[in-house]
Protein backbone atom coordinates (compact mmCIF):
# COMPACT_ATOMS: atom_id res chain seq x y z
CA UNK A 1 0.00 0.00 0.00
CA UNK A 2 1.09 3.53 -0.73
CA UNK A 3 -0.27 5.92 1.89
CA UNK A 4 0.35 9.59 1.27
CA UNK A 5 -0.16 12.46 3.68
CA UNK A 6 -3.71 12.93 2.43
CA UNK A 7 -4.84 9.31 2.69
CA UNK A 8 -7.07 8.07 5.45
CA UNK A 9 -7.20 4.46 6.62
CA UNK A 10 -10.47 2.63 5.93
CA UNK A 11 -12.97 2.76 8.77
CA UNK A 12 -16.79 2.68 9.04
CA UNK A 13 -18.32 5.39 11.22
CA UNK A 14 -22.00 5.11 12.16
CA UNK A 15 -23.80 8.47 12.04
CA UNK A 16 -27.33 7.33 12.82
CA UNK A 17 -29.68 4.46 12.01
CA UNK A 18 -29.17 3.86 8.27
CA UNK A 19 -26.38 6.44 7.83
CA UNK A 20 -22.63 5.77 7.83
CA UNK A 21 -19.40 7.35 6.65
CA UNK A 22 -17.01 4.92 4.96
CA UNK A 23 -13.78 6.73 5.71
CA UNK A 24 -11.22 6.41 2.93
CA UNK A 25 -13.45 4.16 0.81
CA UNK A 26 -12.61 5.95 -2.44
CA UNK A 27 -9.07 7.12 -1.70
CA UNK A 28 -7.48 4.65 -4.10
CA UNK A 29 -9.86 5.73 -6.88
CA UNK A 30 -9.74 9.47 -6.34
CA UNK A 31 -7.72 10.32 -9.45
CA UNK A 32 -9.86 8.09 -11.68
CA UNK A 33 -13.02 9.66 -10.27
CA UNK A 34 -11.66 13.14 -11.02
CA UNK A 35 -10.88 12.08 -14.58
CA UNK A 36 -14.45 10.87 -14.88
CA UNK A 37 -15.65 14.27 -13.71
CA UNK A 38 -13.49 15.99 -16.35
CA UNK A 39 -15.10 13.81 -19.03
CA UNK A 40 -18.57 14.82 -17.85
CA UNK A 41 -17.59 18.51 -17.81
CA UNK A 42 -16.50 18.38 -21.45
CA UNK A 43 -20.17 17.88 -22.38
CA UNK A 44 -22.09 19.35 -19.43
CA UNK A 45 -20.00 22.14 -17.86
CA UNK A 46 -20.26 23.55 -14.34
CA UNK A 47 -23.09 25.99 -13.80
CA UNK A 48 -24.61 27.82 -10.85
CA UNK A 49 -28.27 26.91 -10.75
CA UNK A 50 -30.96 29.30 -9.52
CA UNK A 51 -33.11 28.34 -6.54
CA UNK A 52 -36.91 28.53 -6.78
CA UNK A 53 -36.58 31.63 -4.59
CA UNK A 54 -34.42 33.31 -7.25
CA UNK A 55 -30.98 32.97 -5.64
CA UNK A 56 -27.85 31.81 -7.47
CA UNK A 57 -26.42 28.74 -5.69
CA UNK A 58 -22.83 29.15 -4.46
CA UNK A 59 -22.12 25.49 -5.32
CA UNK A 60 -21.49 24.85 -9.03
CA UNK A 61 -23.17 21.70 -10.37
CA UNK A 62 -23.48 19.27 -13.23
CA UNK A 63 -24.80 15.71 -13.59
CA UNK A 64 -24.22 12.40 -15.28
CA UNK A 65 -26.50 9.40 -15.69
CA UNK A 66 -29.93 9.01 -17.24
CA UNK A 67 -31.37 11.67 -14.91
CA UNK A 68 -29.90 14.89 -13.52
CA UNK A 69 -30.96 17.11 -10.65
CA UNK A 70 -31.89 20.63 -11.73
CA UNK A 71 -33.15 23.76 -10.04
CA UNK A 72 -34.63 26.92 -11.52
CA UNK A 73 -37.44 29.39 -10.79
CA UNK A 74 -39.96 26.60 -11.38
CA UNK A 75 -38.55 24.38 -8.63
CA UNK A 76 -36.30 21.38 -8.03
CA UNK A 77 -36.67 18.23 -10.13
CA UNK A 78 -34.89 15.54 -12.11
CA UNK A 79 -34.59 15.92 -15.89
CA UNK A 80 -33.28 13.60 -18.62
CA UNK A 81 -31.77 16.49 -20.60
CA UNK A 82 -29.25 19.11 -19.55
CA UNK A 83 -31.18 22.41 -19.78
CA UNK A 84 -27.93 24.19 -20.74
CA UNK A 85 -27.24 22.05 -23.83
CA UNK A 86 -30.62 20.47 -24.58
CA UNK A 87 -28.79 17.13 -24.83
CA UNK A 88 -28.99 14.07 -22.59
CA UNK A 89 -26.68 14.23 -19.57
CA UNK A 90 -23.36 12.44 -20.15
CA UNK A 91 -23.48 8.71 -19.38
CA UNK A 92 -22.43 7.70 -15.89
CA UNK A 93 -18.88 6.31 -16.09
CA UNK A 94 -18.84 2.61 -15.26
CA UNK A 95 -16.39 3.16 -12.40
CA UNK A 96 -18.80 5.63 -10.77
CA UNK A 97 -21.71 3.19 -10.78
CA UNK A 98 -19.54 0.26 -9.67
CA UNK A 99 -18.06 2.14 -6.70
CA UNK A 100 -21.42 3.59 -5.66
CA UNK A 101 -23.04 0.14 -5.69
CA UNK A 102 -20.14 -1.32 -3.72
CA UNK A 103 -20.20 1.48 -1.12
CA UNK A 104 -23.95 1.02 -0.64
CA UNK A 105 -23.45 -2.70 -0.18
CA UNK A 106 -20.79 -2.10 2.48
CA UNK A 107 -23.23 0.19 4.24
CA UNK A 108 -25.97 -2.43 4.29
CA UNK A 109 -27.89 -1.58 1.07
CA UNK A 110 -27.15 -4.53 -1.21
CA UNK A 111 -29.13 -3.62 -4.37
CA UNK A 112 -28.34 0.04 -5.04
CA UNK A 113 -28.40 0.85 -8.77
CA UNK A 114 -28.00 4.63 -9.26
CA UNK A 115 -29.53 6.34 -12.30
CA UNK A 116 -28.38 9.86 -11.36
CA UNK A 117 -25.12 11.36 -10.18
CA UNK A 118 -25.18 15.00 -9.10
CA UNK A 119 -21.69 16.52 -9.15
CA UNK A 120 -21.08 19.49 -6.84
CA UNK A 121 -18.09 21.83 -6.83
CA UNK A 122 -17.37 23.91 -3.72
CA UNK A 123 -14.95 26.80 -3.95
CA UNK A 124 -13.92 28.68 -0.79
CA UNK A 125 -17.03 30.17 0.80
CA UNK A 126 -19.45 27.92 -1.10
CA UNK A 127 -21.99 26.19 1.12
CA UNK A 128 -25.17 24.17 1.05
CA UNK A 129 -27.87 25.28 3.44
CA UNK A 130 -29.75 22.72 5.52
CA UNK A 131 -32.09 20.69 3.30
CA UNK A 132 -33.77 17.33 2.82
CA UNK A 133 -33.29 15.23 -0.34
CA UNK A 134 -36.88 14.55 -1.31
CA UNK A 135 -37.08 14.83 -5.10
CA UNK A 136 -36.32 11.15 -5.67
CA UNK A 137 -39.20 8.78 -6.36
CA UNK A 138 -37.96 5.79 -4.36
CA UNK A 139 -37.23 6.71 -0.76
CA UNK A 140 -36.17 3.09 -0.08
CA UNK A 141 -32.95 3.65 -2.03
CA UNK A 142 -30.11 5.32 -0.14
CA UNK A 143 -27.99 8.24 -1.31
CA UNK A 144 -24.29 7.58 -1.74
CA UNK A 145 -22.05 10.63 -1.50
CA UNK A 146 -18.32 10.75 -2.39
CA UNK A 147 -16.02 13.54 -1.21
CA UNK A 148 -12.96 14.52 -3.28
CA UNK A 149 -10.37 17.22 -2.73
CA UNK A 150 -10.54 19.78 0.06
CA UNK A 151 -12.20 18.79 3.35
CA UNK A 152 -15.62 20.08 4.33
CA UNK A 153 -17.75 20.18 7.45
CA UNK A 154 -20.94 18.24 6.84
CA UNK A 155 -24.01 19.20 8.88
CA UNK A 156 -26.19 16.34 9.94
CA UNK A 157 -29.52 17.02 11.65
CA UNK A 158 -32.77 15.22 12.34
CA UNK A 159 -36.04 14.77 10.49
CA UNK A 160 -37.18 18.22 11.57
CA UNK A 161 -35.24 21.39 10.81
CA UNK A 162 -35.33 22.41 14.48
CA UNK A 163 -33.52 19.29 15.74
CA UNK A 164 -29.89 19.41 16.92
CA UNK A 165 -27.18 19.34 14.25
CA UNK A 166 -23.94 17.38 14.33
CA UNK A 167 -20.83 18.49 12.47
CA UNK A 168 -18.78 15.85 10.67
CA UNK A 169 -15.54 16.42 8.79
CA UNK A 170 -15.50 14.80 5.33
CA UNK A 171 -12.13 14.48 3.58
CA UNK A 172 -10.90 13.23 0.21
CA UNK A 173 -12.01 9.63 -0.30
CA UNK A 174 -14.73 9.58 2.34
CA UNK A 175 -18.11 8.20 1.30
CA UNK A 176 -21.33 8.93 3.17
CA UNK A 177 -24.22 6.51 2.69
CA UNK A 178 -27.59 7.68 3.75
CA UNK A 179 -30.86 5.76 3.78
CA UNK A 180 -33.49 3.93 5.78
CA UNK A 181 -34.48 5.83 8.90
CA UNK A 182 -32.04 8.61 7.97
CA UNK A 183 -33.15 9.11 4.37
CA UNK A 184 -35.02 12.36 5.06
CA UNK A 185 -32.73 13.88 7.65
CA UNK A 186 -31.82 17.53 7.23
CA UNK A 187 -28.22 18.06 6.19
CA UNK A 188 -25.94 20.65 4.63
CA UNK A 189 -22.35 21.77 4.14
CA UNK A 190 -20.58 24.63 5.99
CA UNK A 191 -18.83 27.31 3.90
CA UNK A 192 -15.69 25.73 2.42
CA UNK A 193 -12.42 26.94 3.88
CA UNK A 194 -9.54 28.06 1.67
CA UNK A 195 -6.95 25.43 0.91
CA UNK A 196 -5.10 23.53 -1.74
CA UNK A 197 -5.46 19.83 -2.46
CA UNK A 198 -3.06 17.94 -4.75
CA UNK A 199 -5.96 16.36 -6.63
CA UNK A 200 -8.48 19.19 -7.04
CA UNK A 201 -6.59 22.39 -6.23
CA UNK A 202 -8.63 24.97 -4.36
CA UNK A 203 -11.95 23.14 -4.31
CA UNK A 204 -13.98 20.21 -3.05
CA UNK A 205 -15.91 17.98 -5.42
CA UNK A 206 -18.82 15.89 -4.20
CA UNK A 207 -20.56 13.15 -6.17
CA UNK A 208 -24.00 12.15 -4.91
CA UNK A 209 -25.53 9.06 -6.44
CA UNK A 210 -29.26 8.54 -6.34
CA UNK A 211 -31.97 6.30 -7.64
CA UNK A 212 -34.08 9.19 -8.85
CA UNK A 213 -36.53 7.68 -11.32
C1 LIG B 1 -22.24 17.51 -0.30
N2 LIG B 1 -24.31 16.44 -0.10
O3 LIG B 1 -21.72 16.70 0.46
C4 LIG B 1 -23.72 17.64 -0.42
N5 LIG B 1 -27.33 14.68 0.40
O6 LIG B 1 -21.57 18.30 -0.96
C7 LIG B 1 -25.61 16.25 0.08
O8 LIG B 1 -26.43 17.13 -0.03
C9 LIG B 1 -26.05 14.91 0.47
O10 LIG B 1 -23.85 14.16 0.99
C11 LIG B 1 -27.81 13.49 0.78
C12 LIG B 1 -26.99 12.50 1.23
C13 LIG B 1 -25.65 12.71 1.31
C14 LIG B 1 -25.15 13.94 0.93
FE1 LIG C 1 -28.46 16.55 0.05
Distances (CA, A) of 97 to 66, 141, 211: 12, 14, 11
Residue 120 in any domain: the answer is yes
7, part of any domain: no
User: The CATH number of the domain where 36 resides is what?
Assistant: 2.60.120.590
Q: Look at residue 6 and tell me if it is in a domain.
A: no
Say if 157 falls within a structural domain.
yes
Residues with CB under 6 A from ligand 1: 120, 128, 133, 143, 145, 154, 176, 178, 187, 189, 206, 208
What residues make up the domain containing 109? 12-210
Q: From atom 13 of ligand 1, which residue's Cα is the shortest distance away?
A: 145
The whole-model pTM stands at 0.95
Per-residue pLDDT of the chain (213 residues; tens, 9 = 90+): 555 656 667 899 999 999 999 999 999 999 999 999 999 999 999 999 999 999 999 999 999 999 999 999 999 999 999 999 999 999 999 999 999 999 999 999 999 999 999 999 999 999 999 999 999 999 999 999 999 999 999 999 999 999 999 999 999 999 999 999 999 999 999 999 999 999 999 999 999 999 999
Instruction: State how many domains the chain has.
Output: 1
| Orientation angle between helical segments 94-106 and 30-43, nearest 10 degrees | 130
User: In a 3-state reduction of DSSP, which class is residue 34?
Assistant: helix
Atom index in ligand 1 nearest the CA of residue 170 equals 3
Residue nearest to atom 5 of ligand 1 (CA): 133
Amino acid sequence: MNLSLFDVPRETVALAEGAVVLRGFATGHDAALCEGVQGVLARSPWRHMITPGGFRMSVAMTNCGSLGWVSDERGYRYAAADPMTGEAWPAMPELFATLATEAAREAGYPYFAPDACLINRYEPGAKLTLHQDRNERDMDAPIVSFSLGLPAVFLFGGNKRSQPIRRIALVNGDVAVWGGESRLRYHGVMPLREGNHPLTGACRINLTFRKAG
